[in-house]
């Protein structure tokens, strides 16, 4: 028996407008203006995703890129970022 292994690029799927809008809404709701911090702890478990049956984990390339784009657009001066997972 032979096992051949090749490295491949991670799959990339484009988010639709609704998914992008929900991600942006979740990011916006987790920003603390007073401390200029963004709490993305347990991001994928946010109720807004559950209500729409969306699975938006930060380890997905397209989700993380959307989050980073939102941070760049609206919250470029954050002083703290939490990515804690329990």
Residue 68 predicted with pLDDT over 80 = yes
Q: Is residue 58 part of a domain?
A: yes
Our count of domains for the chain comes to 1
Mean pLDDT of 62-77: 95
The dihedral sign for the CA sequence 70, 49, 29, 43 = negative
- Say which residues have a Cβ less than 8 Å from residue 81's Cβ, sequence separation at least 6: 37, 38, 40
- Say which residues have a Cβ less than 8 Å from residue 84's Cβ, sequence separation at least 6: 41, 42
Question: Model-level pTM?
Answer: 0.84
Check which CATH number belongs to the domain holding 75 and give it.
3.80.10.10
What is the chain's alpha carbon radius of gyration, rounded to the nearest angstrom? 16
38 touches 30 (CB < 8 A)? yes
Specify the higher pLDDT residue, 34 or 84: 34
Q: Is residue 24 part of a domain?
A: yes
Per-residue pLDDT, 71: 96
Supply the range of the domain harboring residue 55: 17-82
CA terminus-to-terminus distance, the chain:
41
């Amino acid at each position: 028996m032979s096992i051949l292994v090749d490295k491949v690029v991670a799959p990339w799927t484009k988010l639709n407008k609704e998914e992008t809008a929900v991600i942006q809404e979740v990011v916006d709701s987790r920003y603390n203006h007073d401390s200029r911090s963004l709490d993305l702890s347990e991001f994928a478990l946010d109720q807004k995703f559950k209500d729409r049956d969306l699975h938006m984990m930060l380890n997905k390339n397209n989700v993380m890129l959307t989050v980073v784009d939102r941070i760049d657009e609206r919250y470029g001066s954050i002083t703290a970022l939490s990515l804690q997972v329990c």
